[in-house]
């Protein structure tokens, strides 16, 4: 099986939409109509969750009228945040068919379909014309992609000259092997975590200039502590990442948090400008 097929299989739940609607009902919401914020405890599939997405959007200067490409858009949390908060148009692309279908339906029920759309496809072969986008984002996706040189060339092609590319990824930050399973991969076979140096080098080779780089490890550890304290007091919110990942959630989250605590990995944000 190709890496892309294994990755899509890894993320496929089977009855995700129903599981999300059940969680919304448990929150006292009407699953026919809800707001993007109602989904925020479960639809941001990356460390740092909504605050990290908000910081990325701010650093990219997202503004009304911009057309943003979200590469590896998951179930659409970041795309809906960009559209709702910054009123920009967003196109998401993702390998996992079920995620694309769920992202589309959630967005329709949030009333954001006029600004946000999703399609199934590979980040390595983006089905868009050259210079189509004013900005692009890549949030916790590169860990599943071996050929980052091709990934960055592919994104560079569809950006307008001078447009910003916001990369927010889990990177290798210290010594030591990674334990598996991780949230993004069951084994090392589909895991391609790289150092910030490799990202910088490959982005430059693809025609980007690095504008800034920020290690978000402390920011994420702080948020995780706050979330743990809240969950101890009030219980887990009904819509959480366990709904998406199923029973494997605890082991995967335990591994990623332990490795983050040790400093072997870090969530790193890089803002790069297309030549």
Ligand X SMILES: C[S@@+](CC[C@H](N)C(=O)[O-])C[C@H]1O[C@@H](n2cnc3c(N)ncnc32)[C@H](O)[C@@H]1O
Q: What is the footprint of ligand X within residues 67-86 (CB under 6 A)?
A: 72-74, 77-78
Using the contact rule CB under 6 A, the part of the chain among 57-65, 133-141, 247-255, 258-266 near ligand X is: 133-141
SS3 18: helix
Residue nearest to ligand X (CB): 74
Q: What is the DSSP letter of 37?
A: G
| x/- letters, 146..185, toward ligand X (CB under 6 A) | --------------------------------------x-
- Residue nearer to ligand X on the CB measure, 5 or 87: 5
The residues, ordered by sequence, that sit 6+ positions from 268 with a Cβ below 8 Å of its Cβ are: 168, 169, 170, 171, 173, 196, 199, 213, 214, 215, 216
Greatest Cα pair distance, the chain, in angstroms, is: 50
CA dihedral 71, 99, 125, 149 (to 10 degrees): 50
Using the contact rule CB under 6 A, the part of the chain among 29-37, 119-127, 225-233, 260-268 near ligand X is: 119-127
Q: Is residue 145 at the binding interface for ligand X, with CB under 6 A as the rule?
A: yes
Q: Is residue 140 at the binding interface for ligand X, with CB under 6 A as the rule?
A: yes
- Is 264 buried (19+), middle (13-18) or exposed (0-12) by CB count in 10 A? middle
Q: Is residue 96 at the binding interface for ligand X, with CB under 6 A as the rule?
A: yes
CB 139 within 8 A of CB 253: no
Q: Is residue 49 at the binding interface for ligand X, with CB under 6 A as the rule?
A: no
- Residue nearer to ligand X on the CB measure, 54 or 229: 54
Residues that bind ligand X (CB under 6 A): 4, 7-8, 11, 44-46, 72-74, 77-78, 94-96, 99, 122-124, 139-141, 144-145, 184
């Amino acid at each position: 099986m190709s890496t892309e097929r294994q990755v899509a299989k890894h993320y496929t739940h089977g009855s995700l939409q129903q599981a999300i609607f059940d969680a919304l009902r448990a929150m006292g919401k009407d699953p026919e109509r809800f707001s993007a914020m109602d989904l925020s405890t479960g639809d941001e599939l990356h460390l740092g969750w909504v605050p990290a997405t908000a910081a990325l959007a701010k650093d990219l200067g997202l503004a009304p009228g911009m057309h943003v490409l979200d590469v590896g858009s998951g179930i659409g949390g970041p795309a809906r945040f960009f559209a709702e908060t910054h009123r920009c148009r967003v196109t998401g692309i993702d390998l996992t068919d079920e995620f694309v279908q769920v992202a589309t339906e959630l967005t329709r029920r949030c009333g954001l379909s006029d600004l946000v759309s999703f399609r199934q496809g590979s980040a390595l072969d983006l089905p868009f014309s050259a210079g189509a986008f004013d900005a692009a984002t890549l949030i916790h996706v590169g860990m599943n992609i071996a050929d980052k040189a091709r990934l960055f060339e592919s994104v560079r092609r569809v950006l307008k000259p001078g447009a910003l590319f916001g990369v927010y990824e889990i990177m290798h930050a210290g010594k030591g092997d990674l334990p598996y399973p991780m949230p993004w991969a069951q084994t090392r076979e589909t895991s391609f975590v790289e150092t910030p140096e490799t990202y910088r080098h490959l982005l430059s080779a693809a025609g980007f200039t690095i504008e800034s780089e920020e290690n978000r490890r402390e920011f994420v550890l702080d948020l995780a502590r706050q979330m743990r304290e809240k969950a101890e007091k009030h219980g887990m919110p009904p819509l959480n990442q366990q709904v998406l990942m199923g029973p494997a959630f605890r082991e995967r989250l335990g591994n990623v948090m332990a490795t983050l605590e040790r400093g072997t990995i870090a969530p790193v944000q890089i803002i790069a400008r297309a030549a």
